[in-house]
Structure 1
Amino acid sequence: MPRTERPLEDGDSPELRLAAALRQLRQKAGSPTYRTLSQRSHYSVTTLSHAAAGRSLPSLPVTLAYVLACDGVVEEWERLWHTTAAEVAARDAPEERDSPCGTPVGAPYPGLAAFQLEDGERFFGREQMTNALVRSLSTRRLVAVFGASGSGKSSLLRAGLLPRLYAEAEPGAVVFLTPGPRPLEECAVTLAGRLGATAGALHAELADDPANLHRLVRQLLAERPAAAEAVLVVDQFEEVFTLCPSEEERALFITALCLAAQAPNSRCRVVLGVRADFYAHCTHYAELVAALADSQIVLGPMTGEQLRQAIVQPAARAGLSVEAPLVASLIAECHGRPGVLPLLSHALLETWHRRRGNALTLAGHQAAGGVEGALARTAESFYTSLTPARQQLARQLFLRLTALGEGTEDTKRRLLRGELDLDKDTAAVLEQAAGARLLTVDDLHTEITHEALIRCWPRLHQWLTEDRESLRRHRRLTEATLLWDSLDEDPDALYRGGRLAMVKEFLVEPPLSGTLSARERAFLDASLAAEEDTERHTALQTRRLRRLVALLTAMALLATGAAAYALHVQREVTQQRNDVLSRNVVTEASLLRDTQPALYARLMTAAYRLSPTAEARDGLLDAAATALPGHVRGVSAVAFDPSGRGLATGGDTVRLWNVPPSGPPLKAGEAVGGGPVASMAFSPNGRTLAVGGFRHRTQLWDVSDRRHPAPVATLAGHTDVVFAVAFSPDGRTLATGSYDHTVRLWDLTTRSRPVVRAVLTGHRLNVKAVAFSHDGRYLATGGDDRTVQLWDVTRPGTPVRSAVLTGHRHFVTSLAFGPGSRTLVSGSDDHTVRLWDVSDPRRPAVLPVLTGHTEVVISVSLSSDGRLLASGGYDGVARLWDVTDPRRPRPAGVLSGSGGALNEVVLSPDGGTLVTGSEESDTRLWSTNPKEALSRICARNPTPLTRTQWDRYFPDVVHSPSCPADRR
């Protein structure tokens, strides 16, 4: 028999009134048990019973889940919750500053926190932007607000836009959310209460088909007037890039938003708040680019008058005055500065604490530390008020709450409460930081109140810069631990090998070991235990193999007739042992690659000679690679001339190299063009080099004398980046593909005076790849519209499209034809390489899809005989494939030591050398033949392994020279 519910305490607080109303609703629903309510709402029994206990105000999602489980009217209860929350806030607002870290809720300024819906009456200075946003939303179905961190995007959406929407829209038709690490799940939870459905069911529907968001919005409005529309406001949209680890869920969420806004019968309008430095991330999604073409609101710094309104009006509404010198000083400090608004608001809040009577004074502002100093002083006051032990906890907490930028500024990271060890001290630190408004805490999450704290608190900035690589490793460890937890501690999700070796320091170094949570320590302990089990198993297997060899040897002495069989078995056992040793040496030696390259190379040669496993082969090819002097801004394009004796590398300039039959290439000359290089190609006779760039033009260079390249002509006409160039086999036509969505065919009969023959307009988005077939009859083009298009260019002046190849799920980045023009290879942003049979160009057939890359495949290249294929991507890996039979391709090598994302991979005509260009200003030459790689290593590294080194890595193996010189 279930226990009866504890009676409510005596009193008339807002929390008790809301709890009593919830209990009355449950009685009207037939008094279902809390276990039944839990099954209906997917919240725990404890959470639901606590919501009706009256001891604290439950969160809005919990309240609506309780109401929905009891068949209540969601819209009425949502309004009741907001009213109750306002009463609680007004009651709890202290009249005076209680401590250096306390902040009154009733102050006229919010400090670091964004203005909220209930703050609309004291939100000033952005009226013009609010009106512009409302006007834009009335004519466009999807609008994005871009602005720097701290420019007031969240306040504009919450306190500017939302009150206008709630005043005009149907009740419940305004949906507000922030994406977090699971944007589809967040969307489902937000909609569930309004639709009378479970969050789990809605999440499954959205994951199955993103168009279901459009259908759910129509369902939400089914009982409303025909003209009614829903508005979906997504604040901090950049979280889909910084917090969401799944590219698939990110793409589904973006597609769902675009479909909901742009479907022919759409009843939804979408508003996105996006940090400006994530604009480039948005351009990676074609549907979002199309939707934002003319639907952007840019939030810049406030004007002087707008700043004056934001300073003076909230104080006036609270019955306060602001000294004129203070207003002038604040406007002078903040005018024209992006991202300064949270600092201004916090400085005003601290000045309010130091007010004289009803007046905010310049002296009080100066005492608070000014605009920059007020926030740093608040943070330091909070930190210094802690004990040394709690100071260490605060450091760990703020580091966990920061997402390290990759080419962007560091951002805040929303933290699940389960990621923390909530002991007494940690809870106290959280409470004090939240009291100082440095952190925002709710039932499930903790986050930094505003990213301005990351920029302006010197101590936090110092923590973040002391050892960013350790922080990145720790963050990856945290993500791995969460994955391990989500998979019910699946042993296959544990760290092993090199990844485990890199994080062992967290267990042995006291400063690092103290940063781990209990779950992270458990994850590492489980990983170490699994590794020890593996080592014990390997040792046991080795001992068994040794005993077997000894037994077989004894049997050979006893029976002459069994000698041949015993010898055969011994060889198999020895080979098995050699295979294991070879793989183990490759794994151990990988840690020496950057610190002891000579020893690494020797170990790779010895491991390969002992047993030529795939791992040893890849390590050998890596050790034999040769690096060329780097470009200033990275290597963005590489090209071999048809003979294979000339090489061009492009970045900030174009460098030309002579490639001798043996030894590294020698620099011959340099061409300085009109900007960064995006693409390059040699003419069939090797005398002309075409260079496409980011300044919308293609340059032709005479490279007959590579020591003195000379400009020949400049091809103008494109209106955006020329990302791809290719010569026809006869050298008379040049194809150029551009981000202006077109391909141009140029007549080079007179090389110094090129003429446009035709402009191909078949692509809807950027063109990123062009390639001629070997017979010159067909041109393949590929781009961001995810298609590959084949064109009959037998008559270059009147090209005809033969076919459109579809199948890639993302941008097509690179193309290459095989010999005989029967096979076409395409690389894509969807991490795959596709093979196509184009024997009949009007009816191409799909061949196998090559997988293995974990990031964008940016380049593909085929050897002249069509037997070897190379692919390279942003994962920093070049992969080799044997495509002698295109219907049955086989892996032929994995080259992963280049450092940084690859921009280009090119095979020499004979397929014996691969050249890679990367973002790290690095060009590398790799031998694709292990025997040739072995010769190169032995030639440049004659020092053999010492006996100690051999015994360390190859125990119980007779010493064998890995190079001819070792025999001397």
Structure 2
Amino acid sequence: MTNNTRVTTVKTILLLAANPRNTSQLRLDLEVREIEEGLQRAAKRQQFQLRAKWAVRLRDFYRAVLDTQPQIIHFCGHGAGEDGIVLEDEIGQVACVEAQELASLFKLFATKGVECVVLNACYSLIQAQAISQHIDYVIGMNQAVGDKAAIAFAVAFYDGIGAGEGVEFAYELGCSQIVRFMEQHTPVLLKKQQTVAVSDGLATQAAIEVVPPNPYKGLLAFAQEDAGFFFGREKFVNSLVQLAQSQPLVAVMGSSGSGKSSVVFAGLIPELRSMGNWLIETFRPQSQPFYGLAAALVRLLKPEADAIEQIAKAAELSKQMRQGDVTLSQVMASLTERYPHKRLLLVIDQFEELYTLCQDVFEQQQFVDTLLSAVKSAPHDLTIALTLRADFFSHVLSYTPFSEALQLYKPQFLLAMKQEEMEEAIEIPAQKMEVTLESGLTERILLDVKNEPGNLPLLEFALTQLWSKQRQGQLTHQAYEEIGGVTKALANHAQAVYEHLSDADQKRVEKIFIQLVRPGEGTEDTRCIATRDAFRKEDWDLVTRLASQRLVVTGRDEENKAETVEVVHEALIRQWTQLQKWMNEHREFRTWQERLKGRMREWEAMGKDESTLLRGLSLVEAQQWLDKRQDELSTAERELIEQSLASQEQQKKQEQRRQQEKERLQRRIYLALSSFSVVALGLVGVAGVGWWSAAINEINSLAKTSDGQLNLNGREALETSLRAVEKMQSTPWVDADTRRQVELTLLNTVHNVVVPNTLGGHAKQVNGVSFSPDGKILASGSLDNTVKLWDTSTGK
């Protein structure tokens, strides 16, 4: 009997998740769970089994493959480009597995039945290319990929596999699901070259196109590791190298986006480092320039210390340098002793932050003095190289010692690239990656760039966008048109991201971006760094998403232990009309808010002293904005306003109490003085002569005591005098001498305490006084036949 039962082969999908310690946390648990749920719902779910393993170390990686014998391997985690995928070594330190090491592993795995490999990690295309020599299908990422996009691609890919579709269909399905993230070109599918039978023999089927790693930097400055792809500035770099060896101060100035940081980091630094006799450290001033300087120095002074210890040492050294206890010259002496025959290159990038982020003018000048003192004392051991935007040159010139130093050491102005230099920057990086440009494309790009400063980041971004759209190793005119050319590439990218957001997220994006732009006052709007505290907690996920779309850059301020965010480049501020519209709509609020930030920094620097709180019109304005836009103020900004309001309220209550006390006193005086003109009628019976005599004695005693107190404590003298009057009012048959004594004592006290010098000016003796019912006006009558009216609050 023949058995016709069809046996279904079950394929194993192995999910390898790796998120080592000391790396940013990914939502790998969510990715694994959603893939698993999708396969459980799939029509062909009986044909697949899913195995998930945490493969943090390389040995975990290959052991999981040996244990499960999978047909599909899915890796999710971090990638580091040429350095490889990110795992851990045996002692828990981050270790990268390079492409060739992975290729050797998968050469073995191919013999065990592995058919497909998905490397769902940033910049994993290099590893994918190496693996594709041995595996039929390999997917890698040609750039960074956001968490949500990575998950969306993976879930859709395995939904396609679970439905019985092939790898190519599943790949296209995955790409279709990340269009909304603008990531559809990030995953790249590679196929191993195969032989197929044809009528006249064997022929080779070409592999699916491989897109080599992108040599362009987009909106980012070229770093030291990018020196091999940095072209077009050779002459300028050579001049910087010569200057750095011959003078202690080298200032590189130019417009925003002219490439100042790139010529220093990818040009000057690699050249000097290759000489072998240079110590090189870099930092940015940010809001605390002394801390940035101290941190750079500590890295040289204490290279053996761990990160936590270096932060503590930097904070301590920063404080000592601000207070003048330690100078940069003294630190240089220690470095010279530790590193004999070495010269220090200290690079201060984006020096304009000293004026935009540090609001304390004294600290600005003190920092400059610190640098100039070291330049003067150690000209053969130290070179300070700084990059500065040209529109901040006036800030430098306004401080005489700095301007005099730059007269001695002339600034190097970075001008726009010449046409032949631009051609090199466009064509040579592509040639090194064996990619060509379609005829006439270079000229077309140069025509769009024009000979203007500040367009290099836009050029690099356009080339980056263009790179992902290459066809058969060529950059084409059609692709250039698709990205919108040079000037609109970034703005188009930003607008596309914005339009794919929900209405609610678009409102959130608006609030996020206006916090990242500092409104210009006499200058163009500029970017600024905001901390996470400047946004609502629920908005930070959107900030992270914008970072994955290359619109903002997130970082961390180690001194203040705060996460930070800033726009990816100021070109976005100049070119994106949507952002310009937002800034025009919110300019009044943001201009006020920047002033508030300055007051807040002063308040915090003074230990939140009450004297630095908001007062008067400043507080009225702050309360109005607080009522309107509380959610857009940081916790510290709200705290300053609220404490100012609380202080104002407390002062109001104290003033009210003083006024009430004053009014009560005036009423008592009024009643007391009024009693002198009243003729006592209908006297009550006297209870006894002894009581009466004691009362008269007490009245006289109080009057005399008041006279004695007058020179010591006017307020006590007045109170005693009033008690004498009140005692006299309640005592019958007060003799004329006693009444006269009490009257004169009260008048004298009032004259000297309440309204000093106000009863002067009469030609003859004052013989009567009277208060108005509210106590605010005092009338004095004189034998000179005149009556004078006095304001009791001013004495006029």
TM class, shorter-length: 0.5 to 0.7
| Maintained 8 Å contact 1:150/1:341 | yes
Shift of 1:206: 1.7
| Pair 1:182-2:288 in alignment | yes
SS of the equivalent of 1:292 reads: helix
Measured in 1, the distance between the counterparts of 2:96 and 2:385 equals 25
Shift of 1:260: 2.0
Can you list the C-alpha shifts for 1:647-704, whole angstroms capped at 9, x where unaligned?
Answer: xxxxxxxxxxxxxxxxxxxxxxxxxxxxxxxxxxxxxxxxxxxxxxxxxxxxxxxxxx
Q: Which structure carries more relative contact order (alpha carbon 8 Å, separation 6+)?
A: 2
Aligned twin of 2:44: none
Partner of 2:368: 254
More helix by share: 2
Can you list the C-alpha shifts for 1:111-131, whole angstroms capped at 9, x where unaligned? 111111211111111111111
Aligned pair partner of 1:129 in 212, 218, 236: 236
Q: Confirm or deny that 1:551 pairs with 2:668.
A: yes
Please give the alpha-carbon distance, in whole angstroms, between the structure 2 residues aligned to 1:527 and 1:82.
57
CA contact (8 A) 1:112 1:449 kept: yes
Q: d(CA) in 2 for partners of 1:367 and 1:524?
A: 49
Asked if 1:361 corresponds to 2:476, the answer is yes
Spell out the pairing of 1:559-574 with structure 2 (5 A cutoff).
559=725, 561-563=741-743, 566=746
For the Cα contact (< 8 Å) 2:19–2:77, is it kept in 1?
Answer: no
Q: Shift of residue 244 of structure 1?
A: 0.9
CA distance in 2, matches of 1:414, 1:382: 21
Who is 2:565 aligned against? 446
Which digits, 9 at most, give the CA deviation of each residue in 1:40-97, with x for residues without a partner? xxxxxxxxxxxxxx99899xxxxxxxxxxxxxxxxxx9x999999xx99644882378
Residue 232 of structure 1 and its aligned partner are, at CA, apart by: 0.6
Task: Map 1:819-834 onto structure 2 (within 5 A).
Answer: none
Mapped pair 1:350 → 2:469? no
Given that 2:219 and 2:461 are in contact with CA atoms closer than 8 Å, whether structure 1 keeps it comes out as: yes
1:399-410 matches, cutoff 5 A:
399-410=514-525
Aligned mates of 1:348, 1:368 — CA distance in 2: 10
Query: 1:957: Cα distance to partner?
Result: 7.6
Deviation at 1:353? 3.1
The answer (yes or no) to whether the contact 1:229–1:268 under 8 Å persists in 2 is yes
Q: Note the 1:863-878 alignment, pairs <5 A.
A: none
Q: How far is 1:324 from its partner?
A: 2.6
Query: Aligned partners of 2:468, 2:748: CA distance in 1, in Å?
Result: 88
Q: How does 1:98-177 map to 2 (within 5 A)?
A: 98-99=178-179, 100-102=181-183, 106-170=213-277, 173-177=279-283
- Structure 2: how far apart are the matches of 1:325 and 1:562? 110
For the residues of structure 2 that align with 1:547 and 1:540, how far apart are their CA atoms?
11
Tell me which residue corresponds to 1:938: none
1:302 aligns with 2:389: no
1:567 shift after superposition: 5.2
The letter of the residue matching 1:275 is R
Q: Which residue of 1 aligns with 2:730?
A: none
- Which amino acid counterpart does residue 541 of structure 2 have in structure 1? A
Q: Give the 3-state SS of the residue equivalent to 1:504 in structure 2.
A: helix
Preserved contact between residue 545 and residue 573 of structure 1 (Cα < 8 Å):
no
The 8 Å contact of residues 78 and 122 in structure 2, kept in 1 or not, is answered as no
- 1:244 aligns with 358
Secondary structure of the residue aligned to 1:176 is strand
Structure 1 pair 55–257 and aligned structure 2 pair: CA distance change class (3 A)? farther
Aligned residue type for 2:370: A
Q: What residue in structure 1 maps to residue 509 of structure 2?
A: 394
The whole-number CA distance in structure 2 between the counterparts of 1:575 and 1:234 is: 65
Root-mean-square deviation (CA, aligned residues, Å) is 3.8
What is the CA–CA distance in structure 2 between the aligned matches of 1:17 and 1:232, rounded to whole Å? 28
Q: How does 1:878-917 map to 2 (within 5 A)?
A: none
Asked if 2 retains the 8 angstrom alpha-carbon contact of 1:214 and 1:266, the reply is: no
Match of 2:593 in 1: 474
| 1:413-442 Cα deviation digits (max 9, x unpaired) | 12233x324513x22221122112221112
- Structure 1 residue matching 2:141: 3-state secondary structure: coil
- Give the letter aligned to residue 175 of structure 1: E
1:459 and 2:578 are equivalent in the alignment: yes
Q: Which has the higher strand share?
A: 1
CA contact (8 A) 2:527 2:566 kept: yes
Distance 1:386 1:330 in 2: 31
Q: Is the partner of 2:556 in helix, strand or coil?
A: coil
Shift of 1:538: 1.4
Deviation at 1:183, TM superposition (A): 0.6
Maintained 8 Å contact 2:282/2:348: yes
Q: Determine which of 426, 442, 446 is the counterpart of 1:311.
A: 426
Decide whether the 8 Å contact of 2:251 with 2:386 is kept in 1. Answer: yes
Equivalent in the alignment of 1:532: 649
Q: Which residue does 2:39 correspond to in 1?
A: none
How has the CA–CA distance of structure 1 residues 403 and 433 changed in structure 2, closer, same or farther, with 3 Å as cutoff?
A: same
Aligned counterparts of 1:242 and 1:81: Cα–Cα separation in 2: 39
User: Structure 1 211/91 Cα, relative in aligned 2: closer, same or farther at 3 Å?
Assistant: same
Q: Does 1:277 align with 2:391?
A: yes
Structure 1 residues 316-715: aligned runs within 5 Å: 316-417=431-532, 419-421=533-535, 423-424=537-538, 426-444=539-557, 445-484=564-603, 489-509=608-628, 512-558=629-675, 559=725, 561-563=741-743, 566=746
TM-score by length of 2: 0.59
Among all aligned residue pairs of Structure 1 and Structure 2, give the percentage whose two residues are the same amino acid. 28
Q: Does the CA-based 8 Å contact 1:149-1:339 persist in structure 2? A: yes
1:193 and 2:296 matched: no
SS in 2 for 1:324: coil
Cα deviation code 1:894-942 (max 9, x no counterpart): xxxxxxxxxxxxxxxxxxxxxxxxxxxxxxxxxxxxxxxxxxxxxxxxx
Q: What is the DSSP-based 3-state SS (H/G/I as helix, E as strand, rest coil) of the residue aligned with 1:443?
A: strand
| Distance (whole Å) between structure 2 residues aligned to residue 157 and residue 465 of structure 1 | 35
Aligned residues: 514
SS of the aligned residue for 1:273 comes to strand
What TM-score comes out, normalization by structure 1 length?
A: 0.49
CA drift of 1:278 comes to 1.4
Q: Give 2:373's aligned amino acid.
A: L
Give the 3-state SS of the residue equivalent to 1:442 in structure 2.
strand
Q: CA deviation at 1:157?
A: 1.4
Q: Tell me if the contact between 2:344 and 2:382 (Cα under 8 Å) persists in the aligned partners.
A: yes
Deviates more, 1:450-459 or 1:254-263: 254-263
Q: CA deviation at 1:201?
A: 2.5
- 3-state SS of the aligned residue for 2:521? coil
Residues 208 and 16 of structure 1, relative CA distance in 2, 3 Å threshold: closer
Report the AA paired with residue 94 of structure 1: M
- What is the CA–CA distance in structure 2 between the aligned matches of 1:57 and 1:94, rounded to whole Å? 9
Q: CA offsets, 1:448-496, max 9 Å, x none?
A: 2211111111122222233533322112223434555566654444322
Instruction: Find the residue that maps to 1:372 and give its secondary structure.
Output: helix
CA distance in 1, matches of 2:386, 2:486: 29
Matches within 5 A, 1:719-734: none
Which amino acid letter does the alignment assign opposite residue 433 of structure 1? Answer: L
Greater Rg, structure 1 or structure 2?
2
Helix, strand or coil at the partner of 1:405: coil
Gaps of 5+ in 2: 1-14, 25-75, 81-92, 103-120, 126-139, 144-174, 188-212, 303-309, 558-563, 676-724, 726-739, 759-776, 778-789
2:755 and 2:792 in contact (8 A); partners too: no
CA positional deviation for 1:561: 4.1
Shift in alpha-carbon separation, 1:156–1:264, aligned structure 2, 3 A: closer
8 Å CA contact retained: 1:111, 1:349: yes
Query: In 1, distance between residues paired with 2:431 and 2:513?
Result: 36
1:327 shift after superposition: 0.8
